[in-house]
Structure 1
Amino acid sequence: MNETLVTIVGNVATQPEFRKTGSEVPVARFRLATTARRWDRENGAWSDGHTSFYTVWAWRALGENVMASVGVGEPLVVQGRLRVREEDRDGKRWTSAEIDAVAVGHDLSRGTSAFRRITQGRPELLIPDSPASVPAPMAVS
């Protein structure tokens, strides 16, 4: 099977949501907005083009780390497998683009970030009263 791997640069458009599937596999989902910018020769300035929205799915540890690290409006670089879905809803044809993320990171051309490695399998590092029990970022020596 051929897969389309893409790298998308954009801003987080929705608060990431976390859940576990029926087989208890953790997954985070959020929308990523990306707007093309073009140089307008007539005006001598940059102008925004069309904004595209992608639904990003981050599975397992990546999803848990997205929940602990990503918020609305933050600039991200997302790499993953592109899926385009077409369906009929209420008599209208809908097309949606989704990305099964392999890697997610902050766009460091637009700000700074600090990496913190997490320790797996240590219940004392879980955030108390967290609905998803997402591990808290902890530094490892």
Structure 2
Amino acid sequence: MSDTNNPNSTSTVAAPSFHNITVVVVPTPDGSGNAGGGKWKVTCSPYSCPVFTGDAILNYQLVAPTPSGIVFAGYEACAPLPGRELSRPSISVDGKMMTFSDRNSKGETILVTLRFKDIMEILYDPEIPNDGIR
């Protein structure tokens, strides 16, 4: 970060990278879905979101044809020390976006479980491969 009080300061901090991941959640009446006991099909694009910079911002966004009643309820992370890599989520007022940061201080794959609410809670498990800061 530049020191605005010191005109000779030249150090800067790189801007964080931004990753937008679109999410579709649709009902599957035939029970062939991948979430909610087969009642829902969840798709993330991209499914895997590799992070190569420190302090990356991950923004999950629910898009059509997701029914309007489906909203984000948070996430859970599974890794050796996920609390040191991923921040708490910020969920938009309408529940259609969930944003959190990834410190990416070491190379590891963090498995996350996205939580959605409708009539019941729906869980889905994409992954975030951290490649360490380059």
TM bracket, shorter-chain basis: under 0.3
- Scaled by the length of structure 2, the TM-score of the pair is 0.25
The structure with more helix, counted as a fraction of residues = 1
